[in-house]
């Protein structure tokens, strides 16, 4: 019998708040945390709204030496990991280094740091970069730093599947636990908010150009206009269940199923686009692309179904679905179609909190996992942040009010740019009795 | 097309009895694109390092690299792919096509549903990102870069997940797709991840490998800043000198390799040619320093020991080691210590070589290129040499197969990688068709090992 993997710690550093409690309050109150970009002057860009982590002081989570060597994305990772370990009741320094590992997802590395160094190289007189560029920009920077700082010396990993990888990192944590490493830190943080990263991002044609933060990101809504980018994410302690029970750890829930598939076709935007004159959707769409291809829900549906099968869960046992919620009409319709296909036209309640935070790519899918586990912890399925006016083809059973969970099974779906589909099934632990921690 | 129902009983961990074999190999390397030319280059001991031609390298400390003479047309890269894909992705497209053709697979729709793509890269689309950056920033003049000047494929350049996506799109593959980016161990770790997917029943076939094309000013400057690369600009052909007493750093390179990994029974049923099987894979982190290595090599040693245990192999059964052998002072010493730590006296008997002496260090890609070399070494019974070796270093006192390839039966090939971030990875390929000891569930890491 393979080991079972449970989540015993949650560290959230996201626009919704710093710490799981702050995130949960934002979700319960349905407070939107997106707003005008402050990390740089975004006035001249077609997208001016983002989800930033307000009040984040990196110095509270790492020392100066660590901070100067790393990008803001890694700073967010330092904080989320520290919070997750504390939440799990584990020490900051692994007591059994080879029994601890860290596998995070990162879709674009150290953007702010990288752009500063590119500017120094190309704009300065010396044709040099700083000594830390080689260790700050690349995608493995956060995992390497965390491994060193916390003495996680087991099998570490770094995954990239655009937005889907947050779920993949948790799946890989389970594989790693099953192979004998009892504690694996997993999840993702991101910081795609530098002028150049935003410029790259705009070329996708998927960002919202709506300047009013309240209306910029409206997945499944008739007024959907693309999505709002965000920074941050969530990091988890994934643990061998026996190890967790031995040390009397609080268990949020078990990761019981997972799957990934690929569409084998590229993402093409057909609407909801905020691109510059030279990067419009027509330009961004190769003539060879099959317009029906990427929005075809078959392979996304298969990932959802596979994850349920592996979890040994029938569709009617699912309590709640946390969807990808891209906010681009054809992809929203495709996601709704996939859910109808998997659930035989009777999908369970759907809730998305992404409009509150923006879309933090791999960090965003990890954040959905945090929301699901906290929902079971607090015995409350949170109402969905929209849609107010569901678009044609997006008529799902969106949770309109908070309510009690029943079967305590959540299905989380995520899709990544250019065809990645991932799904995760979580079984929540029973809620704590009164007076319990 | 409708998707077949999910197959397989789902993940069953390492005790499933499923095995992974290698049935196809594709390579893009300096000194000769394609698998056969790569093998010829490294077995003839020819070096492919030269003065950088992609840009004027004169402002930089290290002005040399191992570049690929890659012709996208000859490699069958379509016009649409060339517009979309950065150079490293084109390498992967070429390797994937070569590996698939080599495997003889004629993929059905049912096969495509269970065929994944797992590719590694250390720096992804750096080359395209830097070129576009120069345009949108007006050569670094503006922090608030002009988004209107950016090309339509900037987003796939920003997110290296496009590496796996483009290969999946080319071949219509719908299984799990993933990019692994653990720096310079990415190439081994990607094959390791793919191997785990197959063992766990999450895929039947995986195109697994890695690609990097980092020869651009920002990468060259990054390694200049920490003096990791060789400054031997006067003699590029002899600049990569792994295990030699007179070594001065690694030589940057580009390249890619993709292997077709296949569940053993699937390969047997179709009568596939099998190069070898994946006998073991393990990785550890040193938790020590982002770029520095502890001289004792314990974590690399632990990774090797764990990989041997998975394959139920004794140290004395290893017939070849493809070393990380980057040619930095500290790496080659560290690695030599790791071999002694893991293999004991057997470390002195086994031929060890670093093909980086010839094709340079292509960061994330090289781990997969070295696994391709291991598969070919098993296939042909030839061990490639360590070129440019002339002076013995007292701290590197093993058999590094200096300068000339050696004909020797290779039943078990071990390859290791070591990367920024402290990552240490080990993978073992084994010739198939001979009995193995034991049976039953594979051991997992023990408390004793973790305590080591």
Residue A323 CA to residue A11 CA, distance in Å, equals 21
C-alpha distance across the termini of chain B, in Å: 53
Residue B121 CA to residue B73 CA, distance in Å, equals 23
B377 in any annotated domain: yes
Taking only residues 137 to 166 of chain B, the set having a beta carbon closer than 8 angstroms to any beta carbon of chain A reads: 137, 139-141, 143-162, 164-166
B126 in any annotated domain: yes
pLDDT on residue A7: 98
B445 in any annotated domain: no
pLDDT exceeds 50 at position B82: yes
Cβ separation A203–B154 shorter than 8 A: yes
Taking only residues 95 to 114 of chain B, the set having a beta carbon closer than 8 angstroms to any beta carbon of chain A reads: 112-113
pLDDT exceeds 50 at position B251: yes
Residue A97 CA to residue A401 CA, distance in Å, equals 45
pLDDT on residue A437: 56
The closest CB to that of B150, out of A69, A279, A302, belongs to: A279
Cβ separation A203–B151 shorter than 8 A: yes
Give the residue ranges of DSSP H helices in A266-379: 281-284, 298-311, 329-342, 354-357, 362-377
Residues B289 and B335 in one domain: yes
Residues B287 and B253 in one domain: no
When pLDDT is averaged across residues B203-229 and rounded to a whole number, the result is 98
Residues B210 and B321 in one domain: no
The closest CB to that of A45, out of B15, B140, B147, belongs to: B147
Strands B177-180 and B382-383: unpaired
DSSP state letters, A254-269: EEEEEEEEE-SS----
Residue B422 forms contact with A (CB below 8 Å): yes
pLDDT on residue A433: 81
Residue B383 sits in a domain whose CATH number is: 3.40.47.10
Residue with tokens 């150290």: A110
Count of domains forming chain A: 1
Taking only residues 41 to 60 of chain B, the set having a beta carbon closer than 8 angstroms to any beta carbon of chain A reads: 59-60
Residues B257 and B307 in one domain: no
**B334 catalytic, yes or no?**
no
Residues 6+ apart with CB under 8 A from B215: B52, B54, B65, B67, B127, B252, B253, B254
CA angle B221, B224, B230 (to 5 degrees): 125
Residues B257 and B183 in one domain: yes
Contact assessment for residue B168 and residue B238, using Cβ atoms and an 8 Å cutoff:
no
> In a structure prediction context, what are the per-residue pLDDT tens digits for chain A, which is 437 residues long?
479 999 999 999 999 999 999 999 999 999 999 999 999 999 999 999 999 999 999 999 999 999 999 999 999 999 999 999 999 999 999 999 999 999 999 999 999 999 999 999 999 999 999 999 999 999 999 999 999 999 999 999 999 999 999 999 999 999 999 999 999 999 999 999 999 999 999 999 999 999 999 999 999 999 999 999 999 999 999 999 999 999 999 999 999 999 999 999 999 765 333 333 333 333 333 333 344 444 569 999 999 999 999 999 999 999 999 999 999 999 999 999 999 999 998 889 999 999 999 999 999 999 999 999 999 999 999 999 999 999 999 999 999 999 999 999 999 999 999 999 999 999 999 988 876 65
Proportion of chain B above pLDDT 90, given as a percent: 92
Q: Which residues pair with B285 in a beta bridge?
A: B423
Residues B214 and B290 in one domain: no
Domain-terminating residue out of B269, B291, B310? B269
Q: Is the dihedral of CA A42, A47, A49, A53 positive or negative?
A: negative
pLDDT on residue A2: 74
Contact assessment for residue A385 and residue A59, using Cβ atoms and an 8 Å cutoff:
no
Longest dimension (CA), chain B: 65
Contact assessment for residue B114 and residue B265, using Cβ atoms and an 8 Å cutoff:
no
Closest CA–CA distance from residue A434 to any residue of chain B (Å) = 37
pLDDT exceeds 60 at position B270: yes
The closest CB to that of B152, out of A138, A198, A203, belongs to: A203
B363 in any annotated domain: yes
pLDDT on residue B433: 76
Contact assessment for residue B452 and residue B300, using Cβ atoms and an 8 Å cutoff:
no
- A146: chain B residues, CB-CB within 8 Å: none
pLDDT on residue A269: 60
Cβ separation A144–B155 shorter than 8 A: no
φ, ψ for residue A280 (rounded to 5)?
A: -65, 170
B146 in any annotated domain: yes
When pLDDT is averaged across residues B254-282 and rounded to a whole number, the result is 98
Residue A63 sits in a domain whose CATH number is: 3.40.47.10
Task: List Cα–Cα distances, B90 to A153, A285, B101, B367, in angstroms.
Answer: 34, 19, 17, 18
Count of domains forming chain B: 2
- A73: chain B residues, CB-CB within 8 Å: none
- A137: chain B residues, CB-CB within 8 Å: 222
pLDDT on residue A246: 98
Residue B13 forms contact with A (CB below 8 Å): yes
The closest CB to that of A196, out of B133, B155, B224, belongs to: B133
pLDDT on residue B16: 72
Query: Catalytic: which of B95, B184, B374, B396?
Result: B184
pLDDT on residue A296: 66
Contact assessment for residue B28 and residue B91, using Cβ atoms and an 8 Å cutoff:
yes
The closest CB to that of A140, out of B129, B183, B193, belongs to: B183
Residues B120 and B73 in one domain: yes
B124 in any annotated domain: yes
The crossing angle, in degrees rounded to 10, of helices A141-150 and A72-87 is 40
Cβ of B381: how many Cβ atoms within 10 Å?
14
Contact assessment for residue A413 and residue A335, using Cβ atoms and an 8 Å cutoff:
yes
The closest CB to that of B174, out of A119, A145, A261, belongs to: A261
Q: Is the dihedral of CA A424, B16, B321, B451 positive or negative?
A: positive
B7 falls in which pLDDT band (50, 70, 90)?
very low
CA angle A215, A217, A220 (to 5 degrees): 105
- A148: chain B residues, CB-CB within 8 Å: 285, 287-290, 422
When pLDDT is averaged across residues B135-157 and rounded to a whole number, the result is 97
Residues B292 and B213 in one domain: no
Q: Exposure of B2 by Cβ count < 10 A (0-12 exposed, 13-18 middle, 19+ buried)? A: exposed
Nearest CA to B217 out of A137, A196, A133, A127 is that of A127
B3 in any annotated domain: no
The closest CB to that of A260, out of B60, B159, B177, belongs to: B177
Q: Which of A146, A196, A229, A309 to mutate to test the interface with B (most CBs of B within 10 A)?
A: A196
Residues 6+ apart with CB under 8 A from B105: B23, B24, B111, B205, B260, B262, B270, B272
- B144: chain A residues, CB-CB within 8 Å: 40-41, 44, 195
pLDDT on residue A436: 65
pLDDT on residue A268: 79
Domain-terminating residue out of B269, B302, B332? B269
pLDDT on residue B445: 41
Closest CA–CA distance from residue B219 to any residue of chain A (Å) = 8
Look up the domain containing B424 and give its range: 280-432
Give the length of chain B: 452
Model pTM above 0.90: yes
Closest CA–CA distance from residue B45 to any residue of chain A (Å) = 30
Residue B152 in tokens: 């339509």
Cβ separation B290–A144 shorter than 8 A: yes
Cβ separation B290–A135 shorter than 8 A: yes
Cβ separation B147–A279 shorter than 8 A: yes
Residue A357 CA to residue A350 CA, distance in Å, equals 17
Which chain A residue's Cα is nearest to B11? A310
Strands, DSSP E only, in B238-357? 255-263, 276-285, 320-322, 352-353
Q: What is the pLDDT of residues B360-390, one digit of tens each?
A: 999 999 999 999 999 999 999 999 999 999 9
Query: Catalytic: which of B266, B361, B374, B396?
Result: B361
Taking only residues 242 to 301 of chain B, the set having a beta carbon closer than 8 angstroms to any beta carbon of chain A reads: 282-291, 299
- B113: chain A residues, CB-CB within 8 Å: 302
B440 in any annotated domain: no
Residues B40 and B84 in one domain: yes
* Of B254 and B1, the one with more pLDDT: B254
Residues B106 and B245 in one domain: yes
**B324 catalytic, yes or no?**
yes
Query: Catalytic: which of B324, B334, B374, B396?
Result: B324
Cβ separation B173–A418 shorter than 8 A: no
- B6: chain A residues, CB-CB within 8 Å: 259, 302, 305-306, 309
- A74: chain B residues, CB-CB within 8 Å: none
Contact assessment for residue A261 and residue A306, using Cβ atoms and an 8 Å cutoff:
yes
Look up the domain containing A59 and give its range: 1-437
Cβ separation A199–B147 shorter than 8 A: yes
Cβ separation A418–B179 shorter than 8 A: no
């Amino acid at each position: 019998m393979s080991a079972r993997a449970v989540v015993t710690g949650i560290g959230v550093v996201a626009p919704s708040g710093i710490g799981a409690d702050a995130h949960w309050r934002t979700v319960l109150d349905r407070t939107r945390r997106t707003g005008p970009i402050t990390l740089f002057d975004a006035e001249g860009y077609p997208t001016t709204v983002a989800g930033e982590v307000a009040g984040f002081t990196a110095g509270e989570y790492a020392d100066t030496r660590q901070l100067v060597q790393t990008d803001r994305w890694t700073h967010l990772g330092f904080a989320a990991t520290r919070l997750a370990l504390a939440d799990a009741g584990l020490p900051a320094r692994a007591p059994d280094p080879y029994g601890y590992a860290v596998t995070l997802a990162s879709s674009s590395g150290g953007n702010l740091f990288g752009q500063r160094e590119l500017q120094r190289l190309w704009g300065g007189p010396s044709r040099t970069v700083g000594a830390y560029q080689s260790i700050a920009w690349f995608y493995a920077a956060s995992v390497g730093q965390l491994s060193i700082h916390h003495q996680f010396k087991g099998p570490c990993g770094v995954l990239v599947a655009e937005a889907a990888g947050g779920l993949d990192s948790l799946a890989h944590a389970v594989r790693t636990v099953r192979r004998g490493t009892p504690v694996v830190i997993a999840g993702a943080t991101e910081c795609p908010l530098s002028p150049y990263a935003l410029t790259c991002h705009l070329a996708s044609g998927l960002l919202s150009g709506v300047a009013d933060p309240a209306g910029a990101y409206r997945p499944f809504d008739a007024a959907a206009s693309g999505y709002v980018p965000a920074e941050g994410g969530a990091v988890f302690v994934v643990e061998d269940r026996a190890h967790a029970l031995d040390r009397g750890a609080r268990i949020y829930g078990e990761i019981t199923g997972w799957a990934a598939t690929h569409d084998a076709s590229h993402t093409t935007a057909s609407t909801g686009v905020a691109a510059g004159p030279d990067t419009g959707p027509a330009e961004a769409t190769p003539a060879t692309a099959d317009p029906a291809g990427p929005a075809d829900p078959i392979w996304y549906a298969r990932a959802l179904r596979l994850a349920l099968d592996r979890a040994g869960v029938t569709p009617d046992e699912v309590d709640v679905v946390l969807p990808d919620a891209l906010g681009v009409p054809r992809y929203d319709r495709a996601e709704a179609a996939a859910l109808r296909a998997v659930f035989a036209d009777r999908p369970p309640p759907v809730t998305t909190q992404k409009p509150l935070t923006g879309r933090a790519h791999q960090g965003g899918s990890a954040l959905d996992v945090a929301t699901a586990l906290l929902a079971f912890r607090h015995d409350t399925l949170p109402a969905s942040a929209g849609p107010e006016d569901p678009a044609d083809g997006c008529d799902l059973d969106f949770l309109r009010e908070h309510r009690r969970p029943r079967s305590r099974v959540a299905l989380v779906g995520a899709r990544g740019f250019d065809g990645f589909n991932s799904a995760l099934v979580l079984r929540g632990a029973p809620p704590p009795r009164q007076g319990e921690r | 097309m409708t998707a077949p129902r999910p197959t397989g009983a789902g993940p069953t961990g390492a005790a499933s009895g499923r095995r992974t074999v290698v049935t196809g190999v594709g390579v893009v390397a300096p000194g000769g694109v394609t698998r056969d030319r790569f093998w010829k280059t490294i077995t003839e001991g020819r070096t492919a390092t030269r003065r950088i031609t992609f840009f004027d390298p004169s402002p930089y400390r290290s002005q040399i690299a191992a570049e690929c003479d890659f012709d996208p047309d000859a490699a069958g890269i379509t016009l649409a792919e060339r517009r979309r894909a950065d150079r490293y992705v084109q390498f992967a497209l070429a390797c994937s096509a070569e590996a698939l053709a080599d495997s003889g697979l004629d993929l059905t729709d049912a096969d495509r549903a269970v065929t994944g793509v797992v590719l590694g890269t250390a720096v992804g689309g750096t080359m395209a990102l830097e070129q576009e950056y120069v345009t949108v920033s007006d050569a670094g003049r503006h922090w608030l870069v002009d988004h209107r000047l950016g090309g339509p494929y900037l987003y796939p350049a920003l997110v290296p997940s496009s590496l796996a996506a483009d290969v999946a799109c080319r071949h219509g593959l719908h299984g799990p797709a993933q990019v692994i980016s653990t720096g310079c161990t990415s190439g081994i770790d990607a094959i390791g991840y793919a191997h785990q997917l197959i063992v766990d029943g999450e895929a039947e076939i995986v195109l697994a490998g890695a690609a990097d094309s980092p020869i651009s000013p920002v990468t060259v400057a990054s390694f200049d800043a920490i003096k990791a690369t060789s400054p031997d600009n006067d003699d590029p052909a002899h600049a990569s000198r792994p295990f030699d007493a007179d070594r001065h750093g690694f030589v940057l390179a580009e390249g890619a390799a993709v292997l077709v990994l296949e569940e053993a029974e699937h390969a047997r049923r179709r009568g596939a040619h099998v190069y070898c099987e994946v006998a073991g894979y393990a990785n550890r982190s040193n938790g020590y320093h982002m770029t520095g290595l502890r001289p004792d090599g314990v974590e690399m040693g632990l990774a090797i020991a764990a990989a041997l245990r998975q394959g139920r192999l004794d140290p004395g059964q290893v017939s070849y080691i493809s070393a990380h052998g980057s040619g930095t002072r500290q790496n080659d010493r560290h690695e030599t210590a790791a071999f002694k730590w893991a293999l004991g006296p057997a470390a002195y008997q086994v031929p060890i070589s670093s093909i980086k002496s010839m094709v340079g260090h292509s960061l994330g890609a090289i781990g997969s290129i070295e696994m391709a070399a291991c598969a070919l070494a098993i296939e042909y019974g030839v061990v490639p040499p360590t070129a440019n070796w002339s002076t013995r270093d007292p701290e590197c006192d093993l058999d590094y197969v200096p300068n000339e390839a050696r004909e020797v039966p290779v039943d078990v090939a071990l390859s290791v990688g070591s990367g920024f971030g402290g990552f240490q990875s080990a993978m073992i390929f084994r010739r198939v068709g001979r009995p193995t000891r034991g049976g039953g569930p594979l051991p997992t890491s023990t408390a004793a090992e973790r305590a080591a």
